[in-house]
Amino acid sequence: MNSENTKFCTNCGKEIPQTAQYCPYCNTKQPSLEPTYLNRSDVSTHQCPRCKNVIPDGVSYCPYCDEPQTRSQNNNHQQSTGQPAKTAQDQTNQSNHPRQHKSHFWRNVIVLLVVILLAIIAFFTYQNYHNSQIQSNQNQANQEQTAKNDANKSQAKQSKPQNNIVEIVKSFTQNNKYESGQDAAQDVQKVVDKIPDSSGSSVKWDPNAQTVNVNLPASSPVVKSAETGSPQVWNAMVKGLQTISQEISKNSTGNDDYSNIKVMRDDTGQPILQVDKGNVSLNSRDQ
């Protein structure tokens, strides 16, 4: 028989005419089928496990006996390729895996970048805080050091004039001999000239009172220093006159003593400081 005009019995599997409604061999009624014109060489086929008819791969049910063909088709494919058959679920999972893997990869990359960014932000935040703390501590240390230096300078400023004037007096009175009040007045003038801001002052020997009189302008910084709360200049002059008075008393010749020094304001003539033999008997600042 021509294969294009035949079909296979759904019961015995024998080749029978295409138009046969019953198998001439086993008398089994045949299903009504639309004629197909497939070239067997172009179609992969397998044998139905139930009716043994040759049917194309890929059909879900046998067109002759209505037997499900998925398993048979997969088995046939497995036998022809030598590879394990894959179910529809396996194929679905296989097709989804690359997409899931790709999605997980980019998700992990994004998470890693976020972590790195947060770490960088945290690092620079800590660095800025640490640097600001160091700068703040440094500024505080500088302020404390500046205040300390200012205090030392202020203290030195207060003591330096006194210390300097004593050294100056001793430098030019060493081994001096005072034979007259005029000699004493000359050295007292040297001391007064060394006092800061003492310009305009005059020193004279008063033979009647037996005193060395120092006249200071009432407007001079020396007098104003005695009247204010910062008497550094005034105290330097007191210390200097004490030292020169002591030197004059120690080095006066004969029985005369020319160490009595009286300081007066030129506007009133009133004494504001008196030193004798190095001892202060009057200090207007103490009054």
Considering only residues 191 and 153, tell me which one the structure prediction assigns the higher pLDDT. Answer: 191
pLDDT digits (tens, 9 = 90+) for 195-247: 876 778 899 999 999 999 999 998 888 888 888 877 888 888 899 899 999 98
pLDDT digits (tens, 9 = 90+) for 54-80: 887 777 777 788 788 865 454 554 455
Amino acid at 120: I
Cβ-contact 257, 179 below 8 angstroms: no
Q: What is the pTM of this model?
A: 0.45
Q: Determine the Cα–Cα distance for residues 164 and 154; give it in Å rounded to an integer.
A: 15
In the chain, what percentage of residues exceed pLDDT 90? 23
Question: How many secondary structure helices (H) and strands (E) does the chain include?
Answer: 5, 9
Average pLDDT score, the chain = 79
Per-residue pLDDT, averaged over 134-150, amounts to 87
Which pLDDT value is given to residue 212?
A: 95
Which pLDDT value is given to residue 168?
A: 79
Cβ-contact 46, 54 below 8 angstroms: yes
Does residue 46 sit in helix, strand or coil? strand
Considering only residues 16 and 175, tell me which one the structure prediction assigns the higher pLDDT. Answer: 16
Which pLDDT value is given to residue 78?
A: 47
Question: Residue for token digits 């009172």?
Answer: 209
Beta-strand relationship, 261-265 and 211-216: parallel
- What are the backbone angles phi and psi of residue 17, rounded to the nearest 5°? -60, 150
Q: Is 285 exposed, middle or buried (0-12, 13-18, 19+ CB in 10 A)?
A: middle
- What are the backbone angles phi and psi of residue 135, rounded to the nearest 5°? -65, -40
In Å, how far from its chain's centre is CA 19? 96
Which pLDDT value is given to residue 77?
A: 47
Which pLDDT value is given to residue 66?
A: 77
Question: 35: closest CA among 6, 10, 12, 9?
Answer: 6
pLDDT at 103 over 70: no
Taking every pair of C-alpha atoms in the chain, what is the biggest distance, in angstroms?
Answer: 180
Q: Determine the Cα–Cα distance for residues 234 and 113; give it in Å rounded to an integer.
A: 76
Assign 160 a pLDDT band (cuts: 50, 70, 90). low
pLDDT at 84 over 80: no
Per mean pLDDT, which range of 46-55, 56-65, 151-160, 259-268 is the poorest? 151-160
Which pLDDT value is given to residue 39?
A: 54
Which pLDDT value is given to residue 170?
A: 80
